[in-house]
């Protein structure tokens, strides 16, 4: 890949009982987490402390207590050196409408310390990599939301950082734009060799993109683990079956059969039409096979069997034991 990392287990971000207290709220509460190279998702509801954490990691806001290092540099004393090696894409709109993407990104490259010729060359390269071609010469005011997000991403990448902070990059995008952006984020690491910290309030979309997910709530670490751990332990399957003459209530028959094989099954909850949906926890490939076999044995029709996207609320419902265990999975 672009950058050869000799030491594999480099810690990109490390915080140690990092706290940030404002007069009336505690934004971060003794947060200790290690983040390695790759794509890391930072998940939390609005106000969970994601933006505060990014501000501290950029060396722009002093922590009340505790310490943090980014790329091995101390945020309290080496902020400028960190900001030279890191890119930042804010959540909010930050683009002037009356200049072209090229002019804007060239200016931002200069502001990162690139000489004029290098700034122009890197801008052309970066805009191409994020997928902006002819339109880059037109004023940004006329761009779609997806194009604007690409320009915002380009300004964060133009100085070839070692790490980028992307704050809610999929906000305001339609489903196709969302998938495109997630694929692009994946490429930032696989093709460009740049580590990524990406925030979102949707756990589901980060599961597909990230190597590692950190969940925070109320400024506290809820869990930190690799995405594979996540899906193995918590994948929920939604199963819906038809009724047959033999089993007038197919859903019930299915539940009884599954329970008999030692699988805990719940009803789909209060969602519309969810009365016929069974939710069960998949422990791996064998669960899928088991469901298939049970449906076949009962002679029912399988309407659907799908993975449910997790929402943060589900992580919140987990037991204290699991949390403690999860916290250990730092790097």
Interface residues with other proteins (CB under 8 A) are 1-3, 51, 54-55, 58, 60-61, 80-81, 83-84, 86-88, 90, 92-99, 103, 107-108, 110-115, 118, 122, 125, 129, 139, 155, 159-160, 191-193
Q: Nearest approach, Cβ of 122 to other proteins (angstroms)?
A: 6
- Nearest CA-CA partner of 247 in 295, 304, 291, 288: 295
Q: Nearest approach, Cβ of 156 to other proteins (angstroms)?
A: 8
Q: Nearest approach, Cβ of 215 to other proteins (angstroms)?
A: 22
Of residues 24 and 92, the one with the C-beta less far from other proteins: 92
Of residues 193 and 330, the one with the C-beta less far from other proteins: 193
Q: Nearest approach, Cβ of 4 to other proteins (angstroms)?
A: 9
Of residues 157 and 221, the one with the C-beta less far from other proteins: 157
Of residues 114 and 214, the one with the C-beta less far from other proteins: 114
Of residues 36 and 87, the one with the C-beta less far from other proteins: 87
DSSP alpha helix (H) spans, 114-174: 116-129, 145-157
Rg (CA), the chain: 23
200 Rama class: left (phi>0) / alpha (psi -120 to 50) / beta: beta
3-state secondary structure 39-60: EEEEECCCCCCHHHHHHHHCCC
Q: What's phi and psi for 44, nearest 5 deg?
A: -175, 155
Q: Nearest approach, Cβ of 246 to other proteins (angstroms)?
A: 58
| C-alpha to C-alpha distances, 140 to 81, 106, 149, nearest whole angstrom | 30, 14, 11
- Nearest CA-CA partner of 127 in 99, 89, 101: 101
Of residues 141 and 299, the one with the C-beta less far from other proteins: 141
- Nearest CA-CA partner of 18 in 6, 31, 27: 31
How far is the C-alpha of 4 from the C-alpha of 190, rounded, in Å?
A: 12
88 Rama class: left (phi>0) / alpha (psi -120 to 50) / beta: beta
Q: Nearest approach, Cβ of 297 to other proteins (angstroms)?
A: 50
């Amino acid at each position: 890949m672009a950058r050869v990392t000799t030491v594999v287990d480099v810690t990109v971000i490390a915080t140690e009982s990092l706290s940030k207290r404002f007069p009336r709220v505690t934004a971060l509460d003794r947060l200790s987490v290690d983040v390695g190279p790759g794509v890391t998702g930072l998940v939390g509801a609005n106000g969970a402390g994601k933006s505060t954490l990014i501000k501290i990691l950029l060396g722009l806001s002093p922590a009340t207590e505790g310490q943090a290092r980014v790329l091995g540099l101390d945020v309290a004393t080496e902020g400028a050196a960190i900001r030279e090696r890191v890119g930042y894409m804010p959540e909010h709109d930050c683009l002037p409408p009356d200049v072209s993407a090229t002019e804007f990104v060239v200016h931002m490259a200069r502001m990162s310390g690139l000489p004029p010729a290098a700034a122009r060359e890197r801008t052309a390269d970066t805009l191409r990599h994020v997928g902006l071609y002819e339109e880059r010469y037109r004023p940004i005011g006329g761009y779609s939301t997806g194009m604007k997000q690409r320009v915002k991403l380009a300004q964060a990448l133009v100085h070839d950082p070692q790490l980028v902070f992307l704050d809610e990059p999929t906000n305001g995008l339609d489903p196709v734009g969302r998938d495109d952006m997630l694929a692009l984020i994946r490429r930032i690491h696989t093709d460009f060799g740049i580590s990524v910290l990406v925030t979102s309030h949707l756990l589901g979309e980060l599961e597909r993109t990230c190597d590692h997910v950190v969940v925070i709530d109320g400024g506290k670490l809820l869990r930190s683990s690799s995405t594979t751990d996540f899906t193995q332990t918590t994948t929920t399957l939604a199963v819906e079956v038809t009724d047959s003459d033999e089993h007038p209530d197919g859903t019930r028959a299915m539940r009884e059969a599954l329970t008999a094989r030692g699988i805990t099954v719940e009803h789909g909850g209060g969602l519309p039409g969810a009365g016929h949906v069974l939710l069960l926890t998949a422990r791996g490939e064998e669960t899928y096979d088991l469901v298939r076999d049970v449906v076949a044995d009962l002679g029912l029709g399988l309407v659907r069997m799908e993975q449910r996207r997790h929402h943060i609320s589900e992580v919140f419902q987990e037991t204290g034991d699991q949390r403690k265990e999860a916290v250990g999975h730092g790097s």
